[in-house]
Amino acid sequence: MSAPIRPGENTKTSLEQPHLERRFGLLPATALNMTNMLGAGPFITIPLLMSALGGPQAMLGWIVALVIVICDGMVWSELGAAMPGSGGSFRYLRDAFGPARFGRLMAFLFVWQFVLSGPLEIASGYIGFAQYASYIWKGLTRSGVIALVTVVGIINIALLYRRIHSIAKITISLWVGTLITVLAVIATGAMHFNPRIAFDFPPGAFNLSVGFFLGLGAASRIGVYDYLGYYDVCYIGDEVKDPGRVIPRSILISTIAVAIIYIGINFSIIGVVPWREFVPAADHPASNFIVSIFMQKIYGSGVATVFTLLVLWTAFGSVFALLLGYSRIPFAAAESGYFFRAFGRLHPTKDFPYVSLLVLGAISIVAGFFSLGTVIDALIVTRILVQFMGQVFGLMLLRRNAPDMPRPYRMWLYPLPGLVALLGWIFLFATTQFQVILFGVGVLALGCVAFLLWSWNTKGWPFGLAEAVS
């Protein structure tokens, strides 16, 4: 397998080999993050969010999620700027914990859980797409949903099966469509906002009981799910121009912009559609396409249908951005000797990791056959322990063990934001249903067993001195 070109290489042989190209500047990098973050998230999860606390007080979950995301975004920014390369978390965890020992374990566990959590996140977009399609396609059956998810997934793979400079242009196009959609919702909501509907709190809405905090945790997990993607540019670090500057700025800009947009979207909808009409979500079929109902109440079914098409565009933009970034993770792992060698192959003429793209795309399609609630719960829990919490500790280890490492961006007020993010992740994990916690711990335990078997077979740590290829 030919290794991708590294900065500074200039030999004729290297130039003839397949390699990743640095094509993503600040605009497409920000567009990639925002397209991923916006997507179908706020359009499909508002009913779930309101159901978590039984009323508009669930908006507190957005605030908790925003605090966690901003603080965690600083962790990603410092790591991404200091170690720009394909793979994101895989690379950060491996290098922070030491590539010869515990870094092998952390990197392996990240790839292990990612094989499940990555496709689950992409699948949530496919599910949202199918939910809104049911507003147009009346009487959409279960078999019809499966067929639709499959077709959308195949189209997504086909669009990404090309050179990165073409993808940058497609990303910006999808981003523009996403912004048009969300701005239309916010403008419409602002013109028809009714505070009596929006702030119709149920009795005892802010009773600080154990049940309230469990509900707040559920609402915050949904909020974090909707923000996921603020770090997506980190997964294609080898393809980002001036990464020390672009990565931190794209994370900050996209997080702040999307936070403002989310607040506008949520208040726009609950200020027009009474929350009791779609809460609890499980008892109201219309909750599957709440934004379409929102437009129908104001403009009628014709405009609502057109707007539903815009939501479908937005949902597709999200899964496009996700599969683009996530397909680079198994590639980076395989290139470094932590995953099956086939995943480290670049397309011989188009210079992208085609094996990884095809495999993750296929798994995402299958994962799209499950329910949205199941997908979100499994996704968040499997990521918290290794990826999010692991990176906070990893950043602190790097600050201590590699103080001279070039850091184009340094976390503001270090280590306070990292500690706030860590406490936030602990809160989200601790307030999850016990069965889901068992699932997350079980996945991690199986990953540890798989790591020991893999290490025994390859004579790596802790059974030998063999190290992964860097």
The DSSP bridge partners found for residue 24 are 240
Is-above-0.85 flag for pTM? no
Residue 379, helix vs strand vs coil = helix
Per DSSP, helices labelled H in 402-458 are 416-430, 434-458
Q: How far is residue 64's CA from residue 80's CA, in Å, rounded to a whole number?
A: 24
Distances (CA, A) of 168 to 35, 171, 173, 176, 325: 12, 5, 9, 13, 12
> Do 323 and 174 touch, CB atoms closer than 8 A?
no
Given a cut of 50, the residues of the chain with pLDDT beneath it are 1-15, 468-470
Q: Which residues contact 22 (CB under 8 A, 6 or more apart)?
A: 238, 239, 240, 241
Residue 362: name the closest of 153, 146, 142, 127 by CA.
Answer: 153
* Three-class SS of 88-140: CHHHHHHHHHCCCCHHHHHHHHHHHHHHHHHHHHHHHHHHHHHHHHHHHCCCC
Longest dimension (CA), the chain: 73
pLDDT of residue 166: 60
pLDDT of residue 206: 87
Computed from CA positions of residues 87, 88, 90, 96, in that sequence, does the dihedral angle turn out positive or negative? positive
Pull the structure tokens for residue 14.
């290297």
Q: How far is residue 343's CA from residue 353's CA, in Å, rounded to a whole number?
A: 7
pLDDT of residue 14: 43
Residue 208, helix vs strand vs coil = coil
Instruction: Give φ, ψ of 88 to 5 degrees.
Output: 55, -115
Pull the structure tokens for residue 26.
């600040």
Q: How many CB atoms lie within 10 A of CB 422?
A: 21
Residue 376: name the closest of 144, 218, 216, 182 by CA.
Answer: 218
